[in-house]
Amino acid sequence: VGGVELETLAAEFGTPLFVYDEAHLRSRCRESVSAFGDGVAYAAKAFLCQEMARLVEAERMRLDVATGGELHVALHAGFPAEGIIFHGNNKSEDELRQALAAKVGRIVIDSFDELERLERLIQPTRPQPVWIRVTPGIEAHTHTSVRTGGEDSKFGFGLAAGAAAEAVQRIERNPNLALVGLHMHIGSQIFETTPFEQAIAVMAELLLPLGLPELCVGGGLGVAYVEGEVAPGITEWGRRVKAAAQAAGIPESVKISAEPGRAIAATAALTVYQVGTIKHVPGIRTYVAVDGGMSDNPRPVLYESGYEAFLPRAAGARRELAARVVGKHCESGDILVSDAWLPEDVMPGDLLATPVTGAYGYAMASTYNKVPRPAVVFVANGQARLVVRRETYGDLVALDF
């Protein structure tokens, strides 16, 4: 990866280890900018650390943050506030105050309660540019936990009962808020562009009479995790989105933007583990236990997500052993790869890698069972640099009294 052997990285930084190919991250960012133009944002929730924020800024993308914590990390890394889009379905007063004080580029208003909080907090110094998050009533074909565009959603203002239109009127009456656009996000890990096209047609009905200059279609583009899956690329997604906007009568002057997270970060990284225990259960299956698990990748447990696995010492070897790759946590659900194929000679001490772990892996990591979170390295041109150090046992008691 990036010109460095995974064995070398494991020896230097230990395992489990998240390894990001920096050139891959940068090329996905560049693809996004060329597909959508300079308003496109990276969705920080997929993976954020200070170096990631700096990389995103260097690649001229904006940054979507969804909590005060993500906002803090971005600002601390020096990300310019005017490039930040502040999301969240339950922004607190403190978070709104933090965003207003920093002068973030866009606040995306998600509910009437939030609007009320914002109306109370906003100072008549300069109007705060805002978007409204709208649920267009389109169901994307993806896991129910990451489906967000239907009417039955905790996010945003619905169209059917007129909530979105009412929010528009209320914001337009407030001289301290500048409504500059609409936002939608219909879900995540979506393999088809059709739901985006349908949702854009619905959004156009609200956008056009208002003459608003911006429409953000959110994130959600899927990536292939296992053999046989195929996802459209960012370029194709951008082309389809633009064509759908044109077909819906949205003029070229309207800035169409997006917020890919997974499509930028997922395929840029893999996780390297070390195999510790192998258990053959005759007639049932083989368990291969590694030194991480659901604490560094909860996606298999949360969404039954599939992954591939391989041994870096034999990356091109035939994988003929059906095995279940599990972690070291105290529950049977602690599965990393439910139906993996590995070389027959896998043994304790081997390194084992799972590709496509760059999004919602480290970002969702926990210290369950007091397993310290892994380190993260960026690799480029034969050089690796530590961007997040491994958590220590000392860190595990740092918050305790």
Ligand X SMILES: Cc1ncc(COP(=O)(O)O)c(C=O)c1O
Q: Which amino acid is at 56?
A: V
Let me know: does 376 contact 358? Beta carbons within 8 Å: no
State the minimum distance, in angstroms, from the CB of residue 350 to ligand X. Answer: 31
Q: Which amino acid is at 16?
A: P
Q: Per rule CB under 6 A, is residue 43 in the interface with ligand X?
A: yes
Given the residues 29, 49, 216, 330, the one annotated as active site: 330
Span between the terminal Cα atoms of the chain, in Å: 42
- The per-residue b/e assignment along 357-367, b for 16 or more CB within 10 angstroms, e otherwise, is bbbbbbbbbee
Q: Per rule CB under 6 A, is residue 299 in the interface with ligand X?
A: no
Q: Per rule CB under 6 A, is residue 156 in the interface with ligand X?
A: no
Handedness of CA 357, 362, 367, 368 (dihedral sign): negative
Closest to 326 (Cα-Cα) out of 290, 351, 301: 290
Q: Per rule CB under 6 A, is residue 218 in the interface with ligand X?
A: yes
Nearest CB to ligand X, comparing residues 90 and 392 = 90
Task: Tell me, by CB under 6 A, how many residues bind ligand X.
Answer: 17
CB atoms within 10 A of CB 352: 27
Interface residue with ligand X, options 63, 263, 335, 375 (CB under 6 A): 263
Interface residue with ligand X, options 83, 129, 219, 292 (CB under 6 A): 219
Residue ranges of the alpha helices (H) in 19-137?
Answer: 22-36, 50-58, 68-76, 93-102, 112-121
Interface residue with ligand X, options 59, 64, 110, 139 (CB under 6 A): 64
Q: Per rule CB under 6 A, is residue 223 in the interface with ligand X?
A: no
Q: Give the range of 93-101, 158-166, 219-227, 235-243 binding ligand X by CB under 6 A.
A: 219-227
CB atoms within 10 A of CB 287: 15
Q: Per rule CB under 6 A, is residue 373 in the interface with ligand X?
A: no
Interface residue with ligand X, options 28, 262, 324, 329 (CB under 6 A): 262
State the minimum distance, in angstroms, from the CB of residue 261 to ligand X. Answer: 3
> Does the annotation mark 216 as catalytic?
no
Binding site for ligand X (CB under 6 A): 43, 45-46, 64, 87, 185, 188, 218-221, 259-263, 359
Residues classed as catalytic: 330
